[in-house]
Amino acid sequence: MPTNRRWWPWISLLVVYVVWGSTYLAIAVVVKEQPPLAAASLRFFSAGLVMAAAAAFVDRRHPRPTARQLADYALIGVLLLSVGNAFVMWSEKRIPSGIAALIVATVPLWLTLFDGLRAGGQSWTVRAWAGTLIGLVGVGLVARPEGGVSAGHWLAIVALQVATLSWTAGSLYAQSLPKKLPLFTASAVEMLAGSAVLFLESRLFGEDLGAFALASSRSWLALLYLAVFGSLVGFTAFAYCLNELPASTVGTYAYVNPVVAVALGHAFLGEALSPGLLAGAALILLAVLLTTARRSASPRRPVAAPALTEESAG
């Protein structure tokens, strides 16, 4: 790689660190004024259209997706976005963004644990079980409210656990597919399918779409940030990193994103950094490190799923 391009992979990784970590802050701003599910639908619909246009150019030499592939990737989009991301958006109306980010940070832990259940997955180890137990203790500390319990706190915690499990199921299902679609095509299908189901969910739950007309420019800018930076720039940077850096290096975003989210939530939203939150955060990051470090020697790269991640599921 030429000298002037040597730093591009590392700059891209820094973008993933900051952008995907900052999506939790942006979500918190959006859901204060906009209906969460409808806003998520709009976000992924617009990003999906851009991704489809990119796929028409970048993936044009690949065969067209079969009906089965479209169905498979649509299901992945529903699991990742219509359940995983939807519950994160919904939960951030009720709990601080930093708590949401830390609970979502347990996704790599669940990926490691449930990977052992599928054919060809990596077998369970003492380290995996230890990491899982430590992570659960950390989640307990993070989820435990300091002082009074806000309305819907525990329901939001349960919703986030469902979100992490749905994201885990979608990620493992994506890894198990025998015939994978090209990166941009897969992302377009997932985003558009997720957007369609999110809109149906919004109507089912009776969200007030009139709130869009009353939303401030700050809220719209936050939604634009989620669509452009969280779903497009962050995704592209992540995909580029996977092609240029070891998977174990790229995977460090799982440790950094929640730290960025907690720091931004404290700095811009005034979210408290209680001793319990900090202790829980340390245990969750230790658990993720324990359960994923054993994969560093594996040549297999993680699936490049859109958003996550944004937010992982953010």
pLDDT for residue 308: 38
Domain encompassing residue 289: 3-293
| pTM, full prediction | 0.89
109 is a domain residue: yes
- Work out the average pLDDT over 96-113: 90
Report yes or no: 33 and 150 within 8 Å, Cβ to Cβ: no
Summarised one tens digit per residue, pLDDT across range 34-78 is 999 999 999 999 999 999 999 999 999 999 999 999 999 999 999
143 is a domain residue: yes
CA–CA distance from 18 to each of 11, 85, 229, 262, 309 (Å)?
Answer: 11, 18, 10, 12, 12
204 is a domain residue: yes
Q: Which residue has the higher pLDDT, 271 or 306?
A: 271
pLDDT for residue 27: 97
301 is a domain residue: no
Q: How many domains does the chain have?
A: 1
Q: Give the pLDDT band of residue 117 (cuts 50, 70, 90).
A: confident
38 is a domain residue: yes
Summarised one tens digit per residue, pLDDT across range 127-166 is 888 888 999 999 999 988 765 567 789 999 999 999 999 9
Q: Give the pLDDT band of residue 214 (cuts 50, 70, 90).
A: very high
Q: What is the mean pLDDT of the chain?
A: 88
236 is a domain residue: yes
Q: Which residue has the higher pLDDT, 32 or 146?
A: 32
31 is a domain residue: yes
d(CA 132, CA 153): 23
311 is a domain residue: no
